[in-house]
Structure 1
Amino acid sequence: MVSPVTVVKSEGPKLVPFFKATCVYFVLWLPSASPSWFSALIKCLPIFSLWLFLLAHGLGFLLAHPSASRIFAGLVFSAVGDAFLIWQDQGYFVHGLLMFVVTHVLYTWAFGMRPLALRLGLGMAALSCLCYAILYPYLSGPFTYLVGGYVALIAFMGWRALAGVRPGGTPWRWTELAAGAGAMLFIVSDMTLALNKFCFPVPYSRVVIMATYYAAQMLIALSAVESRDQDGGKRD
């Protein structure tokens, strides 16, 4: 297993643009009440930086590793979804939601279905039911079904990401730890967003949503560096 120190030394410099772009977003803190193409650009900059992070490993790397290329494609759809959500109050929330549906499908595909970790899957299913039960009384119309499907999908993605973190026996790989942590942070981010939008105001919601979201995307991008395998994105 590659040591964390080695990871920091090799991958840290490639993530500098991401950290700078994230700082720009939080320093400018453009008001969400005044959406513009500039605010969309600033919001998407950290994700663009993660594109560059993966491309820094070479186009050949992405082409040779299906799981890495799927994560890269997921980041592309994430950026489109982020742009749509800038104008969510103008009727583009569903557009953004659908872009993130594609993102989670791609991430799930990248993480693969081995090992199955059925008990973990049942636990994630229970967690998704709990989250949906909290949201359900506040939902109406198409959102009753859209949000339900989205909650199930992101829980499924989280299951496949966490399945690689196997307790005992097999040594953990840092990429699998990154994938699992990234997936859980994504769930925290999206659940906070849903609570704030549909249920009740969440204190410091924007800070929580964006901080966990950017951290989640960084960790998932980092998990692509040491590909799980070179044939279909499935774990050994």
Structure 2
Amino acid sequence: MVSPVTVVSERASEPVSRAVGARWPGGWAAAGQASGGRGGAGIPRRPTPPAGGGRCHGPGSGTRGAPRSPAGGGKTGHVTRKRDFVVLCVWRGSVGWRLGEQAAPTCFACLLRSMRLGEEVKSEGPKLVPFFKATCVYFVLWLPSSSPSCVSALIKCLPIFCLWLFLLAHGLGFLLAHPNATRIFVGLVFSAVGDAFLIWQDQGYFVHGLLMFAVAHMFYASAFGMRPLALRTGLVMAVLSGLCYALLYPYLSGAFTYLVGVYMALISFMGWRAMAGLRLVGAAWRWTKLAAGSGALLFIISDLIIAFNKFCFPVPYSRALIMSTYYAAQMFIALSAVESRDPVEDHRLSKAN
């Protein structure tokens, strides 16, 4: 049963009206308290209508008409920002939310989105089953890199092929309607070509693979976009990239001196754009942005292991570390293409913040 819930308090700031599912016959309960209330008060065993500080309107509340605050100046559909104590309980959902004294602004819609997160991620799980199976096949077979062949190239690229299918499983209309998803798909195509070249890196195809992955990073960065700018994040990424290049520089020679520098600049730029939109809290939080940031970070780690293992010193278990972080990175980046919210709602939430 879908029913709206509205919580009213004296000082209103954040909208909380939302259609939510509730099986409990009594619906919802909210408790308001004046600014002197203690933030440590517990949630009542059974939700009961509050006295004085606020009102709850839901199924079974028996209240008709527009709600009003006790002082007469409250606004409907809002929750207090500071110094008021609010408890929202979802009985049968095992969810409790508290805003104590001096609490930061929190939107009830965030709580509802976090409750839906498990369902959203779960809906994508079956589409990733071929990817996990192909990854297991690669690690089980563990074909020797000393004898490259078309079969070993196919086995290595197979998980990336499965990520193509993961995006195509959402439909061609999805890719056509979402340019960012299309760019990520193209980036996965270049990544698969780069993987194939790296199979024969000892035969002189390492540079070809490097160039293919550089193009893939440009498509990924374009998909992540330039908003928000997040200059601090860009500065941190630039400093870390410069430090890593400074460690590698004494071991580089010839064309690699410039190629590695350009590649590190590109992957750092991609990582900056992936992490720029990351919000861990607030109404603008998106699990797809978290997936993008995680994928970019794992990709950087994988490539750093490649660089140090090839140019500086042998890294123990380098191949296992490189491929595990690489496949995880590509999976997270592919997941970031899945839209968890429509652009209109995204714009509204960004303005609300």
Class of the TM-score when normalised by the shorter of the 2 chains: over 0.9
Change over 3 Å in CA distance of 1:168–1:6 after alignment to 2 = closer
Q: Which residue of 2 aligns with 1:27?
A: 140
Richer in helix (by share): 1
The whole-number CA distance in structure 2 between the counterparts of 1:153 and 1:112 is 14
Regions of 4+ moved over 3 Å: 1-4, 167-171, 227-230
Q: Is residue 65–residue 227 contact of structure 1 (8 Å, CA) maintained in 2?
A: no
1:180-191 map, 5 Å: 180-191=293-304
- Kindly state the Cα deviation for residue 8 of structure 1 after the two structures are TM-superposed: 3.0
Does the alignment pair 1:43 with 2:151? no
SS of alignment partner, residue 51 of structure 1: helix
Pair member with larger Rg: 2
Q: Percent identity?
A: 78
SS of alignment partner, residue 259 of structure 2: helix
Q: Is residue 67–residue 227 contact of structure 1 (8 Å, CA) maintained in 2?
A: no
AA of the residue aligned to 1:14: K
Which residue of 197, 202, 206 maps to 2:315? 202
Does the alignment pair 1:57 with 2:180? no
Which residue of 159, 163, 187 maps to 2:272? 159
Which residue of 284, 288, 311 maps to 1:171? 284
Which residue of 221, 229, 241 maps to 1:108? 221
Does the alignment pair 1:92 with 2:205? yes
Change over 3 Å in CA distance of 1:227–1:107 after alignment to 2 = farther
Q: Is residue 120–residue 340 contact of structure 2 (8 Å, CA) maintained in 1?
A: no
- Kindly state the Cα deviation for residue 5 of structure 1 after the two structures are TM-superposed: 1.3
Q: Which residue of 2 aligns with 1:136?
A: 249
Q: Is residue 124–residue 159 contact of structure 1 (8 Å, CA) maintained in 2?
A: yes
> What is the number of equivalent residue pairs in this alignment?
233
- Kindly state the Cα deviation for residue 147 of structure 1 after the two structures are TM-superposed: 0.1
Which residue of 162, 178, 183 maps to 1:70? 183
AA of the residue aligned to 1:41: L
- Kindly state the Cα deviation for residue 139 of structure 1 after the two structures are TM-superposed: 0.1
AA of the residue aligned to 2:213: F
- Kindly state the Cα deviation for residue 96 of structure 1 after the two structures are TM-superposed: 0.3
- Kindly state the Cα deviation for residue 126 of structure 1 after the two structures are TM-superposed: 0.3
Does the alignment pair 1:222 with 2:335? yes
Q: Is residue 85–residue 96 contact of structure 1 (8 Å, CA) maintained in 2?
A: yes
The whole-number CA distance in structure 1 between the counterparts of 2:292 and 2:306 is 21
Unmatched 5+ residue regions in structure 2?
A: 1-112
The whole-number CA distance in structure 1 between the counterparts of 2:321 and 2:280 is 29
- Kindly state the Cα deviation for residue 167 of structure 1 after the two structures are TM-superposed: 5.1
SS of alignment partner, residue 39 of structure 1: helix
The whole-number CA distance in structure 2 between the counterparts of 1:39 and 1:227 is 36
AA of the residue aligned to 2:287: W
Q: Is residue 67–residue 228 contact of structure 1 (8 Å, CA) maintained in 2?
A: no
Deviations 1:209-232 (A, max 9, x none): 0000000000000000117877xx
The whole-number CA distance in structure 2 between the counterparts of 1:95 and 1:228 is 38
TM-score, normalised to structure 1, is 0.95
Deviations 1:8-63 (A, max 9, x none): 32100000000000000000000000000000000000000000000000001001
The whole-number CA distance in structure 1 between the counterparts of 2:299 and 2:342 is 24
The whole-number CA distance in structure 2 between the counterparts of 1:111 and 1:228 is 15
SS of alignment partner, residue 224 of structure 1: coil
The answer to which of 160-169 and 32-41 deviates more is: 160-169
Change over 3 Å in CA distance of 1:60–1:35 after alignment to 2 = same
The answer to which of 122-131 and 159-168 deviates more is: 159-168
Q: Is residue 164–residue 185 contact of structure 2 (8 Å, CA) maintained in 1?
A: yes
- Kindly state the Cα deviation for residue 143 of structure 1 after the two structures are TM-superposed: 0.2
Richer in strand (by share): 2
AA of the residue aligned to 1:195: F
Which residue of 117, 121, 124 maps to 2:230? 117
Q: Is residue 50–residue 221 contact of structure 1 (8 Å, CA) maintained in 2?
A: yes
- Kindly state the Cα deviation for residue 174 of structure 1 after the two structures are TM-superposed: 0.4
The whole-number CA distance in structure 1 between the counterparts of 2:160 and 2:133 is 12
Q: Is residue 68–residue 227 contact of structure 1 (8 Å, CA) maintained in 2?
A: no
Change over 3 Å in CA distance of 1:54–1:177 after alignment to 2 = same
Q: CA RMSD in A?
A: 1.7
